Amino acid sequence: MDLCLFYEIKSNKVLLIQLLKEYLVPYLNLILTYLMIINLQLIEIHFKVKSSRRLKRFHKSKLGANQ
- Residue 36 is predicted with a pLDDT of 92
* 29-65 residue pLDDT tens: 888 899 999 988 888 887 887 777 777 777 777 666 5
pTM exceeding the 0.75 threshold for the entire prediction: no
Distance CA 32, CA 43 (A): 16
- CA 62 to each of CA 48, 55, 56: distance values in angstroms, whole numbers, following the listed order: 21, 10, 10
- Residue 2 is predicted with a pLDDT of 64
